[in-house]
Each structure stands twice: as C-alpha cells, then as structure tokens.
Chain A
Amino acid sequence: MRAVDALMECLKAEGVDVVFGLPGGANLPTYDAFVNGGIRHILVRHEAGGGHAAEGYAKATGKVGVAFATSGPGATNLITPICDAMMDSVPVVFITGQVRTELLGTDGFQEADTIGITMPVVKHSFMIIDPQEIPRAIHEAFHIASTGRPGPVLVDIPQDLSRAEIDYEPVSDVRLPGYQPRIEGNQKQIRQAAKALAAAQRPVIYAGGGVVNAEASAELTDFATSDRFPVTCTLMGLGAFGAPHPQWLGMLGMHGTRAANYAMDEADLICAVGARFDDRITGKLSEFAPRAKFIHIDVDPAEISKNVPAHIPIVGDAKHVLAKLATEYRALEADPARLDAWWSRIDGWKAKYPLGYEDSTDSEIKPQFMVRALYEATGGEAIITSDVGQHQMWAAQYYDFPAPRRWINSGGLGTMGFGLPAAMGAAVGEPDRLVCCIAGDGSVQMNAQELATCAQNNIPIKVFIMNNGYLGMVRQWQELFWDGKYSHVDMGEFPDFVKLAEAYGVTAMRFTDKCTLVKDMKDAIAIEGPVLVDVRVTREENTYPMIPAGSAAREMVG
C-alpha cells in the first residue's frame, strides 16, 4: 500500500470525517489518495483559512481538527493557525508536504524548514524520514494533540516518502514514554482545597478555557452550586458556566465586568480552574488579587505558579478534579451563611455597575446594541465566532453564552481574520447548529477569500460585520493613551462588503437601522446558504469598562 493510502486509513481510524487543505507540488501524492480515500476534503482558498477552519471545527466539536498544506509557502501560511492553536490549546493535526528527501537542505523549490520554523509553536512535531513510520506518527500526533493540554501537532512528510510502498498495519498503541499527562489530581491536595474553600469568607471561582477543553462544564456548575460560589470566566472560558445565572459575575479581565474584577480584587480565596493568569486577566501583577490565596487546578503543571504563586497546586484535568472537589466539599458541610456578607457586597457591585452603554436616540446602531440584537435574533442558541478587536470584546460582554463550545474566538494570539474561517470549520463540524460570525471590518478582510469556500460548498455561515470603518481597538487606544492622534486606523468605506460578498457568490446585505435590526437579522439568518451582512455601527465607540494595560483592577475606567 502507498504510504498516502495508509495515511487515509489512519485518518479514518482516528475518526476523522473532514479535513481542510490546499494541494501543491509536495503533497500531490496525498491529494491523489484523497480521490478514493473516503475522507471529505474541503478545498480552502488560503492555507491560513484552512488552519483556522480546522481550529473552528475542533473548538465546536471537541474533536481533533485536521489541515493539509504543501511544502514551503503552503506550510509557512499555516504558521499563524499553528501558533493560534498553541496559545489557545486547540487540538489540531497539521500535515504538510515536504520536498523530496534528496532535495532536503539544498534550498530546493518550495523548500522551507517547516519543522524548524514551527518548533516554537507546536506541542510536538514529527519529521518523517522513513515511510514505514507514517502510520505511527499520525496516530501519535492525534494522541498528543487531543490529550493532556491539547495543542497543535505537525507531521511533515517528504514527497517521495509519501508515495513509497509500505506494509500497513493498523497502529493501536502509542510509544511515548516521555508523555504521560496526569489528569486525576492528587486526592490530598483536593481535600486541602475543599477545606480551604470551606473556610473561605470571600471565595471566587475563576474558570478558563481548560474547563471547556476538558468537557467539564457540568462538573464546574455542580461544584460551583455545591455552595454559592461566585463564578467568573476568562474570554476562553465563556459558556463553561452557563449565563445568565445568579452566581455568574460575568467575564473578568481587561474588559471584564466590575463585579468580576472587584470580586477578584477583594477575594480571600481564588479557585483557578483551567486558566493561566494571562496579563489580560491580572493587569498589574503585583497588585493582582492582593488578599487572596490561590488554588490552581490545571492539567499543565507548567502553568501552575508560572505567573501567580499557587498555594494549593492541583495537577489534573478539570473534569476529574472538579468532580472530586465537589464531593470533598459537600462532605465538609460548610455553612453557606458565611457567604452572605460577600454576596451582599458582590450584589452591590452588580447593581451599581451593570454592563451598559448610552444608546443612540436615532436609528444609529450602537455596536453593543448589535450584539444584543443578534442574541435576540438567535435566541442565544447560536455558535458565535469572532475576530479580534472591539467587536470581539462586545460580543464577549453582551452575548450571554449558555453552554460551552458556543463561543469560538482567538484569545491568546489575538489573530485578526480568525472568525470567518473558524465559523466555516464550526459549521462543517456542527451542521445542525446555526453558526454566526461577528466580524470586524478590519479583521474580516484578512481571510475574506474563504467566502468562496463557503459559497462553493454551501457552508451556511452568517457573517455579521460590525463595520465602523476603523481598526477600532487600535483607534480606541490611540484615543485614550496616545493623545487622540490617530495613526493609520481609518479603513474608510473600503471595500464595499456587499459587492465583495456577492462577487464570491454569497448573499449579502447592509443594515443601518436599529429599529428593524432584530427582524432584519432573523430574515438574514433564515436565508439558506452563506450570508454576509454589513452592519454599519457608530464609528467612534469605545469598549468599556476597561483596565488600562499594566493597571490594577481597582483602576477600571468607563
């Protein structure tokens, strides 16, 4: 059997039903195998689009996403999605073609040192030097990508090896003696954490994307409601604790709610689960949660005490640890009344500082209003993807995500152009669910070519561009922190998104009136196939509240 045919068998054995990719010289044998390989392949228009689509697929389904590219420029176009998947712990296997082995190291046509270039941004990578190794490498790549702290794994296959004949035998084991993620959590530590929680007067649960990755949403909710623990989530964790809920404080961090950030500031015990104390959360590190002790639950030991010292470190997967923690906690029968004073303080903040904005008095659409309108038009039940910038923060603030895997965005790397291809991947992975992309007018242009992929394959994503004609977040920072001197942020009215989408074969329209917005959105969503809507919003609106970079939670503005 040719190695590439074995590759198809391996993908099927791993349960892969769809992959995203773009062929080229070095992976011609692989694409020959796709002809009768029995795997759905979606031809993207740019490898970055394929990589982000694989991420969107993985984030929506919880399964491993797969993206293919050729050597050289094909592989380098994947760098951004690979790095994005690393930062946000997304399980994706990237399979790249490489020049023939005799050309390796000779600066051959379309040769790039893909393994070398990607090394800092992969969880692991395999360079194939013997075609017989391909099945095992693929199998181990899936194992590494999807277990422990998930992440991107790359397999680089030289062209001549991919078409070599091999003896294919299904691989059922992995030989990775140096890779043994620990998921159970130390029972003594968990008991210690339960005791600390029972003694805490002002506890907060701070949950991140690790809860989503571990499919631990039910366990988080059960644990949080084993008492009246206040819960806040990071940008990546939204939906892990279903909103709205009486114990829900909203998102925390730079554009989080005052209730969440003030609660962190005054907490005496913070239970961090699957979160990594990113600078967007902590602000000024030396003044972050100054009164708190920390329980830190994470499957990646290196995250524990990396930025903030953990008093009770627990290495384990959120699903296992939270289930045990809830059991231990219940056994202690702590008095819920001890949290009364804490809740009255939090409820005071919630009442005094709800998320809000000054609505327009005419028909102008405020960006926050647009997100609420989409929430109404979708009944809060859509998968929402976003790009990066103001629209991303407004989407995070104003769309109440009731469940995990409904909110798909680029958090760690902050990749503009993520939203549209990620929506495409999510819609392919979850064909029965409505998938909407809240895009920025700046961001969407970075991967707009994938509209062609959506049109050709009738992938029914609904893209709502929050169009303010600016690189809005940069404009906001220039306004607030650079004396209002705008430098290269004005995008004007270019392109005409309606014409652009129509040229790609995508139904398009423009909304400018807030009075009919909800109905207009419902109508757009009802249209079959992909739809793009250019929503014109207030040009200069700022995202608030905000902790200026490097400041403490107490210094929130807006």
Chain B
Amino acid sequence: MGEPGTKAPLSLEELQAATNMRTGRKHVLSILVENKSGVLTRIAGLFARRGFNISTLTVGPTEDVQISRVTLTVDGALHPIDQVTKQLHKLINVLKIRDLEPADTVARELALFKVSADGVQRGELVQIAEIFRGKVVDVTKRAIIIEVTGTTEKIEAFETMVRPFGLIEMMRTGEIAISRGRSET
C-alpha cells in the first residue's frame, strides 16, 4: 500500500514544509482499483469536486480479473499532487496508487490521424509517418489514416508535422505507463 501523509522524519530547522507544492511537471498516476461498478465515477467525481483536472485517462483490465488499472495524467503545475493522491487513497475501492517517476517509467500512447491526402501529398505523408515509425492503416482517394505509438511528446510532434496537410480527425488513447525493472507498477 502507499504511504500517504507520513514523510521521513525531519528536523524543524531543515524542513521546508512541502504542502500544496506545485511540482510543475506532468504526473502519471497508475491506480489499481477493485473492479466494481461505480469506481470510475467515484474517481471522476472526486477530481471534479476538488477542482482537479484530469489531462488523460485510460482504464483497462489487469492480469487479475478482480482488479482494474486506471492510468491518469495530472498537471503538477496546476494541482498539488500530494493532495490528489491522498484524496484518491480515501476511496475505499482504490487499492494502490503510484506516482510514476518519469525516469523509471515506460509510457506509451496510441493515436490515429486522419489526414487529407490527394495524390501528391500522399508520398510526403508516408515519409513523415516512416520517420515517426508510424503505420499507414487505411488509404482512400481523399484521405489517409496513420497510426502512431509513442510518448505524448512524440505524438504531439507528429501532430504538428501533419496538421498543415489538413488534419481531418485525430484520436488519442491517453497514456498507459509501466515501471521499469522487476518492481510492480
């Protein structure tokens, strides 16, 4: 279980109280929850009433059918992450929360881009997709669909590249993340 609240003992002299500190970076929270009805509502409702914004949210099964994983990203520049995680811990159906350290985490997002592509443009788009290790998954006379997997930054970079061609639609899954090494996420 997580250990919210109790930090390592600190002396009064050296301590700078850390409350409501804004870390200024994106946080990926990996949350294990009991697979019971209403759990997602409880999480979403908690964020709404406490005034926290969810940047991205994904929910999926884990290797244990009774447990689901919610991966959500929160902007640490806007919200006190310690308060977010402590409030999440109060939900009875929340089993475990990890605020994943960026350096020790592999995070991926899947995105689908539908871009205008008549004739001449198509070749150039395919080249760009190759550079980003994207895959062309569908082509019609007027449009092309490209699948890209990667970090949020990579997907945003790809979006910047293809937008001038005429971005018809974009769909993104939100990040999922897993910690490196043998320890469990």
Are A and B bound to each other?
yes
Residues of chain A touching chain B, judged by Cβ–Cβ distance below 8 Å, are 115-116, 119-120, 123-124, 127, 129, 144, 176-180, 186, 188-189, 191-192, 196, 199, 293-294, 300-302, 304-306, 308-315
- In the complex, the chain B residue whose C-beta lies closest to that of A305 is B19
Chain B residues with CB under 8 Å of A309's CB are 17-20
CB-based contact B41/A127 at 8 Å: no
Q: Quote the shortest CB–CB distance from B40 to chain A (angstroms).
A: 11
Interface of B is mostly: loop
CB-based contact A119/B12 at 8 Å: no
B131 within 8 A of A: no
Interface of A is mostly: mixed
Mask: chain B, 78-116; 1 = CB below 8 Å from A; 0 = not = 000011001101111111100000000000000000000
CB-based contact B41/A301 at 8 Å: no
CB-based contact B92/A144 at 8 Å: yes
Chain B residues with CB under 8 Å of A186's CB are 6, 9
CB-based contact A192/B9 at 8 Å: yes
Whether A176 touches B20, Cβ cut-off 8 Å, given contacts A186-B6, A188-B9, A301-B4, is no
A-B contact list, 24 entries, CB within 8 Å: A115-B38, A116-B41, A119-B41, A119-B45, A177-B34, A177-B95, A178-B34, A178-B96, A191-B9, A196-B12, A301-B6, A302-B90, A304-B5, A304-B86, A305-B82, A308-B19, A309-B20, A311-B10, A311-B17, A312-B12, A313-B5, A313-B6, A314-B6, A315-B6
Whether A312 touches B10, Cβ cut-off 8 Å, given contacts A115-B38, A302-B83, is yes
Question: Once the chains are docked, how many angstroms separate the CA of A305 from the CA of B16?
Answer: 12
B7 within 8 A of A: yes
CB-based contact A313/B91 at 8 Å: no
Question: Once the chains are docked, how many angstroms separate the CA of A177 from the CA of B35?
Answer: 12
Chain B residues with CB under 8 Å of A129's CB are 37
Chain B residues with CB under 8 Å of A191's CB are 9
**Which one of B4, B6, B92, B96 lies within 8 Å of A124 (CB-CB)?**
B92
Chain A residues with CB under 8 Å of B90's CB are 300, 302
- In the complex, the chain A residue whose C-beta lies closest to that of B87 is A302
CB-based contact B5/A301 at 8 Å: yes
Chain A residues with CB under 8 Å of B93's CB are 178
Question: Once the chains are docked, how many angstroms separate the CA of A189 from the CA of B45?
Answer: 33
CB-based contact B5/A119 at 8 Å: no
Chain A residues with CB under 8 Å of B7's CB are 313
Chain B residues with CB under 8 Å of A312's CB are 9-10, 12
- In the complex, the chain B residue whose C-beta lies closest to that of A190 is B9
Chain A residues with CB under 8 Å of B11's CB are 192
New A-B contacts (6) at CB < 8 Å, excluding given A188-B9, A192-B11:
A293-B12, A301-B86, A305-B82, A310-B17, A314-B6, A315-B5
Q: Quote the shortest CB–CB distance from A50 to chain B (angstroms).
A: 25
Question: Once the chains are docked, how many angstroms separate the CA of A497 from the CA of B103?
Answer: 70
Question: Once the chains are docked, how many angstroms separate the CA of A294 from the CA of B5?
Answer: 14
Chain B residues with CB under 8 Å of A119's CB are 38, 41-42, 45
B15 within 8 A of A: yes
Question: Once the chains are docked, how many angstroms separate the CA of A177 from the CA of B1?
Answer: 9
CB-based contact B20/A192 at 8 Å: no
Closest 7 CB pairs of A and B: A301-B5, A309-B17, A309-B19, A305-B19, A302-B86, A315-B5, A301-B4
Q: Quote the shortest CB–CB distance from B184 to chain A (angstroms).
A: 15
Residues of chain B touching chain A, judged by Cβ–Cβ distance below 8 Å, are 1, 4-7, 9-12, 15, 17-20, 33-34, 37-38, 41-42, 45, 49, 82-83, 86-87, 89-96
Question: Once the chains are docked, how many angstroms separate the CA of A310 from the CA of B41?
Answer: 31
- In the complex, the chain A residue whose C-beta lies closest to that of B33 is A178
Chain B residues with CB under 8 Å of A144's CB are 92
Chain A residues with CB under 8 Å of B1's CB are 180
Question: Once the chains are docked, how many angstroms separate the CA of A115 from the CA of B45?
Answer: 12
Chain A residues with CB under 8 Å of B15's CB are 311
- Counting chain A CB atoms within 10 Å of each CB, which of B42, B92, B96 scores highest? B92
- In the complex, the chain B residue whose C-beta lies closest to that of A294 is B17
Chain A residues with CB under 8 Å of B41's CB are 116, 119
- Counting chain A CB atoms within 10 Å of each CB, which of B4, B34, B38, B90 scores highest? B90
Question: Once the chains are docked, how many angstroms separate the CA of A196 from the CA of B11?
Answer: 9
CB-based contact A127/B95 at 8 Å: no
Question: Once the chains are docked, how many angstroms separate the CA of A120 from the CA of B1?
Answer: 24
- In the complex, the chain A residue whose C-beta lies closest to that of B42 is A119
CB-based contact B92/A178 at 8 Å: yes
Q: Quote the shortest CB–CB distance from A496 to chain B (angstroms).
A: 42
Whether A120 touches B49, Cβ cut-off 8 Å, given contacts A144-B92, A293-B12, A302-B89, is yes
Chain B residues with CB under 8 Å of A315's CB are 4-6
Question: Once the chains are docked, how many angstroms separate the CA of A120 from the CA of B17?
Answer: 29
Chain A residues with CB under 8 Å of B5's CB are 301-302, 304, 313, 315
Chain B residues with CB under 8 Å of A199's CB are 12
Question: Once the chains are docked, how many angstroms separate the CA of A160 from the CA of B4?
Answer: 42
Chain A residues with CB under 8 Å of B91's CB are 178
Question: Once the chains are docked, how many angstroms separate the CA of A235 from the CA of B120?
Answer: 75
- In the complex, the chain A residue whose C-beta lies closest to that of B8 is A188
Question: Once the chains are docked, how many angstroms separate the CA of A306 from the CA of B51?
Answer: 14
Q: Quote the shortest CB–CB distance from A156 to chain B (angstroms).
A: 11
Q: Quote the shortest CB–CB distance from B84 to chain A (angstroms).
A: 10
Chain B residues with CB under 8 Å of A304's CB are 5, 86
Q: Quote the shortest CB–CB distance from A294 to chain B (angstroms).
A: 8
CB-based contact A192/B34 at 8 Å: no
Q: Quote the shortest CB–CB distance from A306 to chain B (angstroms).
A: 6
CB-based contact A178/B20 at 8 Å: no
Q: Quote the shortest CB–CB distance from B41 to chain A (angstroms).
A: 7
Q: Quote the shortest CB–CB distance from B82 to chain A (angstroms).
A: 7
Q: Quote the shortest CB–CB distance from B80 to chain A (angstroms).
A: 9
Chain B residues with CB under 8 Å of A188's CB are 9
- In the complex, the chain B residue whose C-beta lies closest to that of A295 is B12
Question: Once the chains are docked, how many angstroms separate the CA of A461 from the CA of B33?
Answer: 46
CB-based contact B17/A178 at 8 Å: no
